[in-house]
Structures are given as C-alpha cells and as structure tokens.
Structure 1
Amino acid sequence: MSFAATMLVALVLDAGIGWPDPLYKRVGHPVVWIGNLISLCEQRWNAGPRNRRIVFGTLTVLLVTGLPMALAALVALILPGGWAGVALTGLLAWPFVAVRSLHDHVAEVARPLGGGDLDGARQAVAMIVGRDITQLDTGGVARAGIESLAENASDGVIAPLFWGVVLGLPGIVGYKAINTMDSMIGHRTDRYEAFGKAAARLDDGVNWIPARITAALFALGTPRRLAHASRVVRRDAAAHRSPNAGWPEGAMAGILGVRLSGPRVYATHRVEEPWLNAGAPDPAARDMRRALRTYMRGMALAGGLLLALAVL
C-alpha cells in the first residue's frame, strides 16, 4: 500500500510539471545516466563472435539492472518511514514516469497536422519514431504518432508504476533500466541482435502484464467503445510483431475506429506488418486529438487505482 502511495506521488508530480528544463540542465536525468552506462558497456563489449556478444550482452543486463536497483534499495533503506518516506520516495521515483512528456511529444505532432502543415508534423513525429518520414502521408504521420502514444503509455507510464507498486523504488528503477536497454540495444540488426538479445527478452517479460493493463485502462476509460476495443485486441494483438505492443495499440485502434500498425518504411528497409483493426480507415489529425484524450482518461484511471490501493 505504501508503494502504491509513492507511485501516486510520482505520477501526480510528473503529470503536473513533467521534468522541467532548468532541472534537466542542472542535474540531467537518471535515465540519461543509465543510458550512459549502457553505451559504455556496448562500446567495450559488443565485439567478437556471436556467442561472446551474447555472453557480454547478458553481463550488461545484469550490471545495468543490478547496480541501479542496488543503489535504489540502499536509498530506500535509509529513508524515513511514514508519510515523509512516502513523499521522499515518490519524489525519487518521479523522473522514471513519463506521463506528461509523452503527451506533449504527441501533441506536438497533432498540432501541425491539424493545421495542414504536413512537413511540420513529419519533423515532429521524427522525434518519437524511427521511420522514414519522407514516406509518410497524413495518415502515416497520424498512425505513427498514435502507435507511439499507445505503446509508450505502457512502457513509459504503466509499466514503471506497476513495478514500483510491486517492488518499490528498486522496482521502478530496475524496470526503467531494462526498458532503456531494450530501446538502445534490443534491435534485430547485425550490430545488436546478439548483444541485445538478453535485454530484448527481459523487456518482453517485464512488459507482459503492464501492456495488458494499459489496454484495459484505455478500454475502460471509453466505456461506449469497450466492446469493440476488446474484439480488436482479442482478434489482432497476437499478430503484432511485439508480444506486448499489440495490446495497447489494438485497444486504441478499436476505440478510435481506425487501423494501426501495417507496413512501414525505415531508412534502410521496408517492414510488412499486419494491420490492427484492418478494414477501418487511416487515422486523421482529429483522431490524434481523440487518442490523446483516451490516453489521459486511461492515465487518470491508473491514478485512481493507485489511490484506491493506497487507502485500501
């Protein structure tokens, strides 16, 4: 229950003020510190035969996850008890939740797209996806933004909160280390496939429950679309390239009545992916705004659940 209270503090802080630029300029950000450690390990150890890369990639996972978790556990031990401890732990957990920054990044795409500025929307969406933006029409930009919003609602908000409720401060720190590793080295490319294999598999495991919770929060936050969202998830989520992302993306597709995922073009290759909610139209700018409202309702429900757990 105290863990739920600390995660509620972190969620409220981030939703209210995000991570302010002056604070970032002064102290940086804990996720950036973790990323620097990952980069150091990758530069030193990602070389040689495939088996060696797998071994050292696994060692990287143990180091990058274990060291921050151990430090977080030590800090948690020396914090005071009671409400002072709850407040301080929530303050320390705050930078590991990204509810506001995710909303703001996707809103930066929706704004020019809604004004007919396709080039501006392409430049904004390039900040959150890795696709070849020159190949994106209006529907492609909207799809990319909505998919990023749905998937990262799980990775950036619900999953860290979930592991924070389960394991306290070490849980939210450890999850963020795993997820950062996956985003940096968990790619199916010649350079990262072997070295990042353990990181990618572990990330799939720790996101399994949160992704399904996120889908449920989206659907429950829009009761009139609950049945259709549930049908899309049951039918299409398992076909997604990710064992987890298809759940929140499928729920969002069903709620909005649009199709998501599908083929996409990157700088070096084209990927053929099945559609989520095939047969529905491509999303438009107004659907991005609807997606943002769906996201905020889901996050408000998450806050309500944390509050209920805290006072249970």
Structure 2
Amino acid sequence: MGFAGAMAVAMTVDALVGWPGALFARIGHPVTWIGRLISLLDHSWNRSADAPPIRRIAGVGAALLAIGLCVAIGWIVQAVLSPRWGGVVLLAVLAWPLVALRSLYDHVAAVVQPLQSGDIDAARLAVAQIVGRDPATLDEAGIARAAIESLAENASDGVVAPVFWGALFGLPGIVGYKAINTLDSMIGHRSERHLYFGWAAARIDDIANFIPARLTGFLFVLVSPHFSEALSCMVRDANRHRSINAGWPEAAMAGALGVRLSGPRSYHGSVTNEAWLNEGARDPLSADVRQGLTLYIRAMLLLGGLLVALAIA
C-alpha cells in the first residue's frame, strides 16, 4: 500500500472527523507543539541587539533545528512501524492531524452562511479567522474574495503540500513539511522583528511549496467546468501574484469561478496595491464562495483518487 495509500487514508479520516475539539482541549495539536518549539527558538535566539547578519544566521540555525528535529522524530517513529498493513494504517493515523482538509472547509463554510444571509458583521468576524487583512474594510465582495483566496492558497499549504511530501517520504516528509510551514507562518513574514531571523524560514517554505502549489492549481483546473478559462487564467496570471507559489491555485480558482481575485487590500491600516488575478472579471459574491468549496471538494477527491492509484500501482 505504501506512503501514498497511507496519505489517502489520512485524508479520508480527516474529511470524516477533522480534529475533534475535545481532543484538542485535552492534548492540543501537533502543529501547536511545533509552534511552541519555534516560539522558544524565536525568544531565545532572535535578539534585537544583534546585527542583521547574526540574526539571519541565527534564523537559519533555528529553522534547520526545528525541521531536523521534526524529521528525526518522524523517521524514528516510522522506522519502528511494521511495513505490513497494520503499520501503514498506523502511519495514516499519525499523519491524519497534519492534513487540514476538514478544518479548511469548515472555516470557509463559516463565512458563507452569514454572507448569504446578509449579516456582514458576522461574515467579517468569520473571515478574520482565516485572513490577516483588516476585516472592517471589507464589503461583501471583499469578504468573498478573501475567503476564496484563503481556500485556494490553503488547499495547497494545508492539504496538497503535506500529502505530497508524505506520499514521497512518509511520516518524516509530512512532519518535516508542517515544521517548514509553521516556521513560515510564525517567523517568515517581513516584520521588523523577523525580517532577518525569518529569512531562511520564508525561503525554505517557498521551495517546499513550489511543486505542490502548481499541482493544486492543476487540480482546480482539471475539476473545473470551465477548464479552458481556468487553465488560461492560471498560466497567464499566476506570476502576477506577490507570492511565487500562491498565485497558481488562486489564479486557477479565479478562472474557474469567473471572478477577479487579489487586488488592493488593507493590512493594519496600510493599503497594499496587489495586482488583480483575472482582471476585468466581476467581483465574487457569496454564491462564488460556495462554488469554490464545491471545486475544493472535487479537487481533493481527485487528489485522493490519484493517491489510491499510486498505491495500487
């Protein structure tokens, strides 16, 4: 059955049950455990008194230590598992919490419900859980755009990328990727504190997501009823995005839905003038967010089917 089959099982388990709240309250979540390690390294090694080159070197060391430790733990656990069916199933159970398939769907669906009913304030609160932009500045189109962009980008970061690396290398692959992605989300941004210390985390995350982001874009294209529009938009506009990776699934989704995404947005009172994806198309509405969720489900089913096919082969 192999690693690909284990990832397919992990996706299925997560789609059915997610990560139960009671379990989270009792033991937390593996990503929060990784986050504690990163926070400890950040507070210990990222000293404002140090010169920028020293902070960059410290950041490289912190990233390599966090990733290496997670990969080593994954390798040790995997090494003691039986290669037979029981070991593969156990591997799938261990990989399950590292696949955010159900969580992503639930968070985006939580935006759709108040948006459809016209409760803009509740929709803003819901979308603020998944994006960093200022929710108070968002109208219906802005909320829908933010939700769709988050769905597209996190389909890659939260599902396709961990499953991709898990299918290649098993538990060390998926745990190592989650360490990389958590590093980027915590210290990989260009704030004053993390501009130098988080440099390595951001670069490693770009590399780790290079193939998965493009694979996610093609999955959206393949399941879209508007195949040619989705493909042409992805190929034309993906590189207009500020991220070398996020533009691929977002542009594919924009073309598939026939809406424009990205564009200017406000962060902490400061407006950034991002390029439009699928410029000239209409603004998205609540119905487009729901249609985006349908495309997401289809894409994840296709991904699961590909993993099963690989496992059988």
Please report how far the alpha carbon of residue 268 of structure 1 lies from its aligned counterpart in structure 2 after TM superposition: 3.9
- Which residue of structure 2 lines up, in the alignment, with residue 198 of structure 1? 200
RMSD: 0.7
- Which residue of structure 1 lines up, in the alignment, with residue 61 of structure 2? 59
User: What SS class does the counterpart of residue 306 from structure 1 fall into?
Assistant: helix
Partners of 2:101 and 2:56 lie apart in 1 by 33
- Which residue of structure 1 lines up, in the alignment, with residue 38 of structure 2? 38
Partners of 2:51 and 2:12 lie apart in 1 by 47
- Which residue of structure 2 lines up, in the alignment, with residue 22 of structure 1? 22
Partners of 2:166 and 2:16 lie apart in 1 by 19
Please list, as runs of the form range in 1=range in 2, the aligned pairs for 1:145-156 lying within 5 A after superposition: 145-156=147-158
Please report how far the alpha carbon of residue 189 of structure 1 lies from its aligned counterpart in structure 2 after TM superposition: 1.6
Counterpart code for 1:108: A
Please report how far the alpha carbon of residue 51 of structure 1 lies from its aligned counterpart in structure 2 after TM superposition: 0.7
- Which residue of structure 1 lines up, in the alignment, with residue 288 of structure 2? 287
- Which residue of structure 2 lines up, in the alignment, with residue 124 of structure 1? 126
Partners of 2:248 and 2:83 lie apart in 1 by 38
Task: Please list every run of 5 or more consecutive structure 2 residues that lacks an aligned counterpart in the other structure.
Answer: none
Counterpart code for 2:193: R
Post-superposition CA distance 1:273-294 (Å, at most 9, x none): 0000000111000000000000
Partners of 1:310 and 1:142 lie apart in 2 by 37
- Which residue of structure 2 lines up, in the alignment, with residue 91 of structure 1? 93
- Which residue of structure 1 lines up, in the alignment, with residue 242 of structure 2? 241
Partners of 1:4 and 1:107 lie apart in 2 by 28
Counterpart code for 1:280: A
Please report how far the alpha carbon of residue 28 of structure 1 lies from its aligned counterpart in structure 2 after TM superposition: 1.1
Partners of 2:36 and 2:149 lie apart in 1 by 27
User: What SS class does the counterpart of residue 265 from structure 1 fall into?
Assistant: strand
Partners of 1:143 and 1:244 lie apart in 2 by 18
Partners of 1:234 and 1:26 lie apart in 2 by 45
Please report how far the alpha carbon of residue 77 of structure 1 lies from its aligned counterpart in structure 2 after TM superposition: 0.6
Please report how far the alpha carbon of residue 150 of structure 1 lies from its aligned counterpart in structure 2 after TM superposition: 0.1
Post-superposition CA distance 1:211-260 (Å, at most 9, x none): 011011111112x3111111111111111000000000000000000000
Post-superposition CA distance 1:124-167 (Å, at most 9, x none): 00111111111000000000000000000000000000000111
Partners of 1:234 and 1:12 lie apart in 2 by 31
State TM-score, norm by structure 2. 0.98
Partners of 2:46 and 2:188 lie apart in 1 by 13
Counterpart code for 2:51: P
- Which residue of structure 1 lines up, in the alignment, with residue 8 of structure 2? 8
Please report how far the alpha carbon of residue 270 of structure 1 lies from its aligned counterpart in structure 2 after TM superposition: 1.2
Distance verdict in 2 for CA 1:58–1:268, change over 3 Å: farther
Post-superposition CA distance 1:171-212 (Å, at most 9, x none): 000000000000111101211111100000000001000001
User: What SS class does the counterpart of residue 95 from structure 1 fall into?
Assistant: helix
User: What SS class does the counterpart of residue 118 from structure 2 fall into?
Assistant: coil
Partners of 2:254 and 2:290 lie apart in 1 by 13
Please list, as runs of the form range in 1=range in 2, the aligned pairs for 1:136-151 lying within 5 A after superposition: 136-151=138-153
Partners of 2:269 and 2:278 lie apart in 1 by 27
Counterpart code for 1:30: P
User: What SS class does the counterpart of residue 67 from structure 1 fall into?
Assistant: helix
Please list, as runs of the form range in 1=range in 2, the aligned pairs for 1:169-208 lying within 5 A after superposition: 169-208=171-210
1:263 corresponds to 2:253: no
Runs of 4+ in 1 over 2 A off after TM superposition: none
Counterpart code for 1:303: G
